[in-house]
Amino acid sequence: MNDVALLQEQAAKFGCELPPDRAALLVAYTDAMLAENRYINLTAVRDRAAALVFHALDSLALGSAEFALAPESCLDIGTGNGFPGVAIACLFPEAHVVLMDRTLKKLKAIERALSDSGFDMDRLSTVQMDAAEAPAHGHLYKYDLITARAVKPLETMAVLASPLLKREGRLLCWLSAEADAPDALPEKLRKHAELEYHLPEPADRVRRVVSYGP
């Protein structure tokens, strides 16, 4: 089984359906990101098989989340190496996705990797910014979906994300199996859903993705 079919099969196990062409884009981006990682530190995961599981497959857990309508405007806070933002772009190809990070050289590397792997750059953009400054720079109440994958404590993410979410928007956060996921967070965000799933070898571990919103 090739990498694209394997990624599809593994994602389907936790309820994420990904078309072959979008899975191929995600595999291509992982390869391009690892190529950039030789020169700029985007990830400590350098093994390709591990990166496909720990970054690409783990990010696809957001595909199990239920939305009243498919998100149209999405923000990945502290994107780092582009995940899970690139997974959003694969799962919701009609959405506009913003990848936000404070480090310009990482964003430039992400842009090159996106271009090299064939993503539609009309619907993907990068923004160099601290999320705390985003409300004052045109991002107030703008996003249907905000993602945060291992960047800050949940309480901190709630404070950062709340002024950026639309009224019915959702904040999705990735957690380890041991981390606490309270029913309520600051800024009147409450838990809507939680999925626990198992990542296979070579990144064998249990993970959770938790959805919060107003």
What domains are defined for the chain? 3-213 (3.40.50.150)
* Tens digits of residue pLDDT in 141-190: 999 999 999 767 899 999 999 999 998 999 999 998 888 899 999 999 99
Least confident of 57-61, 71-75, 150-154: 150-154
What is the rounded average pLDDT of the residues 99-110? 97
Q: Which one, of 208, 199, 173, lies nearest residue 50 by Cα?
A: 199
User: Is residue 67's pLDDT more than 90?
Assistant: no
User: Alpha-carbon distance 46 to 166, whole Å?
Assistant: 37
User: Alpha-carbon distance 107 to 114, whole Å?
Assistant: 10
φ, ψ for residue 78, nearest 5 deg: 60, 50
**Other CB atoms within 10 Å distance of the CB of residue 205:** 14
Asked if residue 158 lies in contact with residue 190, where contact means CB atoms within 8 angstroms, the answer is no
Which residue would you say has higher pLDDT here, 171 or 120? 171
**What DSSP character marks residue 58?**
H
Asked if residue 4 lies in contact with residue 77, where contact means CB atoms within 8 angstroms, the answer is no
pTM: 0.95
Q: How confident is the model at residue 1 (pLDDT cuts 50, 70, 90)?
A: low
DSSP β-bridge partners for residue 211: 172, 193
**Other CB atoms within 10 Å distance of the CB of residue 187:** 16
Q: What burial letters (b/e) apply to 98-114, b meaning 16+ CB within 10 Å?
A: bbbbeeeebbebbbebb
User: Is residue 68's pLDDT more than 80?
Assistant: no
